[in-house]
Amino acid sequence: MLWEIGSQGAEVRELRSRLGIDSGYFSRVLRALEKQRLIRTRVVPEDRRLRRIFLTRAGLAERAELERRSDELATNILESLSDQQRSVLTAAMRQVEQLLLASMITFGIEPPTTPDARWCFDQYTAELNSRFDGGFDPGMSRSAHPEELTPPSGLLILGRQQGRPVACGALKFHKKEPAELKRMWIAESARGLGVGRRLLAELERHARKAGVKVLRLETNRALYEAIHLYKRSGYVEVEAFNAEPYAHHWFEKQLVFVEVSSNPVCTGVFHEQERNYLVRTHTAGRPVFPSD
């Protein structure tokens, strides 16, 4: 707990959410640490409903001792191994850490007006502004206002890692017309964990539930990682379907599976790669099973 509180302190509600601890047990642990004079709790001046935990001088000393012991144990482990064994161990530990971090990320629909949602939008805007030639002005882009990202007009999904927002993506519904995919963003700390793929799949799942048959998006050539993700996920590049000033590529995906049950070769369950191939060939206007 002292390590999680850290030298800069932590907000009580955020810390409990991040650790996933029962509120009753969490309160008992805090009282025990306060009784040992290892922590102190203060009301946040800007919002008196919130409390923040800080380590006392004794708490900081205890945390430093825990760090020292941890470093000593790690050193003893590594000293007993050869250089090659150390490389294998550290590589394996990095992979385990990546997998654990990926498993901690959860997704859920949230209002687009919350502080966390606004923070994600700000990060999204800042990154686009730094990567696009000439910057990015959201006022010139196609709209994604809060009311457009709120059911039934649309929705916003946030990805969280131990309570902290690390990803966002939104849908804009247009009744029987194709829906739009908007505001896809992944925090730097969560990249390389498959979060983009999972977030995209979650958005598609909700789009299907809403009766969407075709999902569309536009993107800038600078976002090569996103372009690769969309192509790999079955999106097909099409002619421009709007006048988005920052777009160089337009994509769409058929969310309703192509009807091929009359063909005996096509019955049964398809793997994702086969489904994506069928979607690509169908969307491009070619037969589902081309003769060439």
**Dihedral sign of CA atoms 130, 133, 136, 137 in order:** positive
Residues 121 and 241 in one domain: yes
pLDDT at 285: 42
Q: Verify that 76 and 196 share a domain, yes or no.
A: no
In a domain, 40, yes or no: yes
Are residue 143 and residue 177 in the same domain, yes or no? yes
Q: In the prediction, which pLDDT does 8 show? A: 87
| Most confident by average pLDDT, 19-23, 69-73, 210-214 | 210-214
Mean pLDDT of the chain: 87
99 part of a folded domain: no
Measured between alpha carbons, how far is 164 from 185 in angstroms, rounded to an integer?
14
**Which alpha helices (H) appear in 132-217, and where do they start and end?**
195-209
User: pLDDT-based confidence at 151, cuts 50/70/90?
Assistant: very high
Does 225 score more than 50 pLDDT? yes
* 29/161 same-domain check: no
pLDDT band of residue 257 (cuts 50, 70, 90) is low
pLDDT at 135: 96
Residue 151 covered by a domain: yes
Co-location of 142 and 37 in the same domain: no
Residue 83 pLDDT level (bands cut at 50, 70, 90): very high
Please check whether residues 110 and 73 belong to one and the same domain. Answer: no
Task: Kindly report the CATH number assigned to the domain that includes residue 46.
Answer: 1.10.10.10
Residue 238 is part of a domain; what is its CATH number? 3.40.630.30
- Residue 106: band (very low, low, confident or very high) from pLDDT cuts 50, 70, 90: very high
Query: With 90 as the cut, is the pLDDT of residue 262 above it?
Result: no
- Domain match, 57 and 153 both: no
**CA quadruple 16, 20, 22, 25: dihedral positive or negative?**
negative
pLDDT, position 269: 41
Q: 277: pLDDT confidence band, cut at 50, 70 and 90?
A: very low
CB 266 within 8 A of CB 257: no
Element (H or E) spanning 125, and its range?
Answer: helix 115-131
In a domain, 126, yes or no: yes
pTM for the structure as a whole? 0.70
Domain that holds residue 143: 105-256
The larger pLDDT score, comparing residue 131 to residue 11, is at: 131
Predicted pLDDT at 162: 82
Average pLDDT over residues 211-225: 96
Indicate if 224 and 148 belong to the same structural domain: yes
- Domain count of the fold of the chain: 2
Distance of alpha carbon 93 from alpha carbon 97, whole angstroms: 6
The string over 45-65, giving b where at least 16 C-beta atoms fall within 10 Å of a residue's C-beta and e elsewhere, is: eeeeeeebbbbeeebbebbee
Residue 229's pLDDT is 96
Q: Which residue has the higher pLDDT, 268 or 2?
A: 2
Report the pLDDT value the prediction gives residue 148, as an integer from 0 to 100. 97
7 domain residue, yes or no: yes
Q: Which candidate, 181, 255, 186, places its Cα nearest to that of 219?
A: 181
- In this predicted structure, the answer to whether residue 98 has a pLDDT above a threshold of 50 is yes
Query: Any idea of the CA torsion for 60, 66, 70, 75, to the nearest 10 degrees?
Result: 80
Residue type for position 198: R
Percentage of residues of the chain with pLDDT beyond 70: 88
Regarding whether 239 and 168 lie in a shared domain, the answer is yes
Q: What is the mean pLDDT of residues 211-240?
A: 97
Residue 270 lies in a domain: no
Whether 119 and 236 share a structural domain: yes
Q: Which of 45-49, 58-62, 89-93, 183-187 has the lowest mean pLDDT?
A: 45-49
* Average pLDDT for 227-251: 97
| 56 and 133 together in one domain | no
- Token couple for 19: 């650790």
Instruction: Name the more confident of 254 and 266.
Output: 254
